[in-house]
């Protein structure tokens, strides 16, 4: 999503306010969603290190390869640039940049879940007296509430994804492999305007549907099989994440019962989602539905996760998370149960918390569907 200078400054000030609250002097960001959120720019982690340092009381400083400077200079967030060439190496740029923001003896917050050993060693080398702490939760808090532009991008990603799945339903034939079906879905995503895949497309048939996180295999679908799709397109960097299960012919009665209890768990969690409730409470609702139906041992994962520039971000809809849901949060509701070798069912929607309740951004039907 293109980022205007006004919005970039607003986000920068929000970040600095959080830094003051946590006693952090400098935030260090590598290429990825957080850097994109604050600058609007897209860069990639590679062997040439790129780091953006955001001090409390000084302009940001970017240490960046010379070949990336023209792109970085277009970003809405203005920064001091310390560039380097392959011939020069990055040492001088890092020394000059860290000296300019007086990084030594400062508390530097880093992306602990993303920062490589490579970058952490660079920081220790050129700011040896600095204290490095993980600040993932701080930047995550900044991105919790989606603004109107972000919501528009997520809704567009969802729309593209749903249209692609509907087109894929028309392509499916008995005997097709999971890989072939996934390939057709991805082609429809690209043709529909998706800028990429939010994550590895999951398509499984038959007993493979009980594998929650595994890429497509060579299995060829058979009459009566369940067929699961877990996938998402992207628009302006924002992700969709949708799961639907269909059946290739009339399902066995036990498969119908399996599906209906997941459908009920999804429905009850969506109905309960509103401002003021906790993330944990939604997770417990789905777990109780499964327990009441005798399926508690078949639950393998939490009920959902936040959605935005990352496919998995806060808030996490899981037991133990007392985070209170607020207007503008977007997350998945994806209860599922899995019987190994037989069937797995997951029904996943992308949900927005509104002022008075919630709205599902995904609109594909959730009734048992037979192709």
pLDDT tens track for 351-370: 999 999 999 999 999 999 99
Q: Is it the case that residue 2 has pLDDT exceeding 80? A: no
Residue-wise pLDDT tens digits, 305-332 = 999 999 999 999 999 999 999 999 999 9
Alpha-carbon distances of 65 from 20, 48, 87, 111, 317, rounded to whole Å? 30, 7, 11, 20, 39
Give DSSP secondary structure letters for 212-260.
Answer: TT----S-B--TT-EEEEEE-BEETTEE--EEEEEESSSPPHHHHHHHH
Do 111 and 30 touch, CB atoms closer than 8 A?
A: yes
141-152 tens-digit pLDDT: 999 999 999 999
Average pLDDT of span 247-266? 97
| Confidence check: pLDDT of 1 > 80 | no
Neighbours of 258 (CB within 10 A): 24
User: Could you confirm whether domain 148-360 is CATH 3.10.20.600?
Assistant: no
User: What is the SS3 assignment for 119?
Assistant: helix
What is the tens place of the pLDDT at every residue in 24-37? 999 999 999 999 99
pLDDT tier at 78 (50, 70, 90 boundaries)? confident
Domain boundaries, the chain: 5-142, 148-360
> What confidence category does residue 290 fall into, taking pLDDT thresholds of 50, 70 and 90?
very high
pLDDT at residue 297 tops 90: yes
Mean pLDDT value of segment 86-96: 95
Query: Of the CATH numbers 3.20.20.140, 3.40.350.10, 2.170.120.12, 3.40.50.880, which one belongs to the domain with range 5-142?
Result: 3.40.350.10
Do 148-360 and 5-142 have the same topology in CATH? no
């Amino acid at each position: 999503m293109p980022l205007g200078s006004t919005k970039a400054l607003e986000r920068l000030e929000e970040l600095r306010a959080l830094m003051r609250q946590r006693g952090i002097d400098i935030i260090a960001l590598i290429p990825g969603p957080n850097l994109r959120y604050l600058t609007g720019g897209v860069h990639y982690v590679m062997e040439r290190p790129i780091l953006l340092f955001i001090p409390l009381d000084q302009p940001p400083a970017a240490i960046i390869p010379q070949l990336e400077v023209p792109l970085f200079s277009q970003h809405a967030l203005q920064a001091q640039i310390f560039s380097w060439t392959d011939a020069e190496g990055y040492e001088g740029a890092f020394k000059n940049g860290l000296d300019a923001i007086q990084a030594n003896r400062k508390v530097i917050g880093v992306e602990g879940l993303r920062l490589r050993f490579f970058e952490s060693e660079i920081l220790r080398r050129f700011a040896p007296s600095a204290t490095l702490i993980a600040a993932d939760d701080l930047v995550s808090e900044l991105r919790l509430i989606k603004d109107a532009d972000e919501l528009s991008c997520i809704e567009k990603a969802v729309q593209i994804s749903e249209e692609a799945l509907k087109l894929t339903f028309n392509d499916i034939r008995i005997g097709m492999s999971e890989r072939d079906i996934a390939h057709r879905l991805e082609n429809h995503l690209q043709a529909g305007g998706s800028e990429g895949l939010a994550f590895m497309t999951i398509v499984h048939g038959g007993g493979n549907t009980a594998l929650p996180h595994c890429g497509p295999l060579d299995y060829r679908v058979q009459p009566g099989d369940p067929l699961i799709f877990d996938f998402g397109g992207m628009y302006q960097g924002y992700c969709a994440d949708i799961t639907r299960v269909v059946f290739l012919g009339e399902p066995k009665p036990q498969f119908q019962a399996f599906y209906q209890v997941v459908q009920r768990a999804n429905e009850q969690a969506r109905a309960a989602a509103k401002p003021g409730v906790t993330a944990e409470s939604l997770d417990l609702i789905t777990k109780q539905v499964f327990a009441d139906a005798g399926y508690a041992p078949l639950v393998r994962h939490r009920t959902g996760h936040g959605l935005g520039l990352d496919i998995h971000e806060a808030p996490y809809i899981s037991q133990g998370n007392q985070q209170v849901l607020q207007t503008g949060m977007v997350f998945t509701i994806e209860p599922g149960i899995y019987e190994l070798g037989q069937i797995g069912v997951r029904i996943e929607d992308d949900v927005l918390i509104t002022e008075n309740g919630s709205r599902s951004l995904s609109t594909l039907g959730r009734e048992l569907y037979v192709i």
